[in-house]
Amino acid sequence: MFEWLRDFIVCRGDSPVNDKDAIVKKSRKEADEWAAKRTAYVEMSKVAYRNGEHKKAKKLSKEARKCCKKMEKANWNAAKAILKPQRSKEIGILDLHGLYLEEAKAATDQFLDHWNSIPEKSRSESVQIITGAGKHSRREGYPVIRPEVEKILKERDLEYVMMKGDGAFLVYINSSTRRERNRILSMGQIILHFQQYHCCRFVKVLLHGVFEKCYALVLACTLMCYFVLFRQ
């Protein structure tokens, strides 16, 4: 279903931005129209089925499925217009703005598959995936695409950091880079534990020394009092 994305996400685009926006707007509008027709056919099919007109209901249901396929095709045309000019193969940056959730997930998978297919010595150490912070999401500011992209990165066991106000991911795709980062992290943890251990040990020694000094002082005072009393 998403095989067409492989061609568009890695190719060089030559369409002007205005043409792209026009195609996206036209395709989304067309998809909305097909969605409305699908809903109408579904409702008519339900009514026909309740009235015992099963053949008519089946026919209407079939028309609804046709509308659904045309709606999906129109939406994918919009997604192609968004992805084609990005030159993701060359610059290693994927911008998911303007895509619906399923489109964004498919584009992310194809993008990562492409970069992972390149020999490690020939590819960059990291790539960027721009999701946006979700401020203009349909769910009233709640990010929809970003959590799903992060889920994909975790499933692929890829290291990443958040960028641009949590609106993008910097993804480390080279295993050597990940190993080096893990080695540095491990060394840092060892040093930290070493410092913590010796700090705790120092505190224990210090307290032990103070206790010994205090004990010696108390013992000296007791002996002094004892000798004074006996001399009297």
Residue 146, domain CATH: 3.30.1370.110
pLDDT at position 132 over 60: yes
Give the contacts of 129 (CB within 8 A, at least 6 positions apart).
93, 94, 96, 108, 111, 149, 168, 169, 171
Q: Domain check: are 165 and 189 in the same one?
A: no
Q: Domain check: are 75 and 140 in the same one?
A: no
* Residue 228 included in any domain: yes
Domain boundary among 122, 147, 173: 173
Q: Domain check: are 78 and 101 in the same one?
A: no
pLDDT at position 15 over 50: no
Q: Domain check: are 18 and 42 in the same one?
A: yes
**pLDDT at residue 27 in the model:** 95
* Residue 4 included in any domain: no
Q: Answer for the pair 197, 155: CB distance below 8 angstroms, yes or no.
A: no
Q: Domain check: are 215 and 196 in the same one?
A: yes
* Residue 68 included in any domain: yes
- Number of domains composing the chain: 3
Q: Domain check: are 39 and 99 in the same one?
A: no
* Residue 7 included in any domain: no
Q: What range defines the domain where residue 33 resides?
A: 13-85
**pLDDT at residue 19 in the model:** 82
pLDDT at position 100 over 80: yes
**Whole-number percent of the chain with pLDDT over 70:** 66
* Residue 71 included in any domain: yes
Residues 22-57: pLDDT tens digits?
999 999 999 999 999 999 999 999 999 999 999 999
* Residue 159 included in any domain: yes
Q: Domain check: are 94 and 64 in the same one?
A: no
Domain boundary among 173, 202, 224: 173
Q: Domain check: are 74 and 123 in the same one?
A: no
Domain boundary among 61, 85, 109: 85
Q: Domain check: are 195 and 217 in the same one?
A: yes
**pTM for the whole thing?**
0.64
Residues 54-99: pLDDT tens digits?
999 999 999 999 999 999 999 999 999 999 888 887 889 999 999 9
Q: Domain check: are 94 and 165 in the same one?
A: yes
pLDDT at position 147 over 50: yes
Higher pLDDT, 204 or 145: 145
Question: Highest mean pLDDT range out of 121-125, 146-150, 159-163, 192-196?
Answer: 146-150
The full DSSP string for the chain is: --THHHHHHSSPP---HHHHHHHHHHHHHHHHHHHHHHHHHHHHHHHHHHTT-HHHHHHHHHHHHHHHHHHHHHHHHHHHHHHGGG-HHHH-EEE-TT--HHHHHHHHHHHHHHHHHS-GGGS-SEEEEE---STT-TTTT--SHHHHHHHHHHHTT-EEEEETTTTEEEEE--HHHHHHHHHHHHHHHHHHHHHHHHHHHHHHHHHHHHHHHHHHHHHHHHHHHHHHHHH-
Q: Domain check: are 102 and 61 in the same one?
A: no
Higher pLDDT, 135 or 54: 54
Region for residue 227 given its phi and psi (left: phi exceeds 0; alpha: psi -120 to 50; beta: otherwise) = alpha
Q: Answer for the pair 132, 97: CB distance below 8 angstroms, yes or no.
A: yes
* Residue 32 included in any domain: yes
**pLDDT at residue 143 in the model:** 82
Q: Domain check: are 200 and 166 in the same one?
A: no
- Distance CA(37)–CA(63), nearest Å, equals 9
* Residue 158 included in any domain: yes
- What's the mean pLDDT in 157-176? 84
**Whole-number percent of the chain with pLDDT over 90:** 48
**pLDDT at residue 224 in the model:** 74
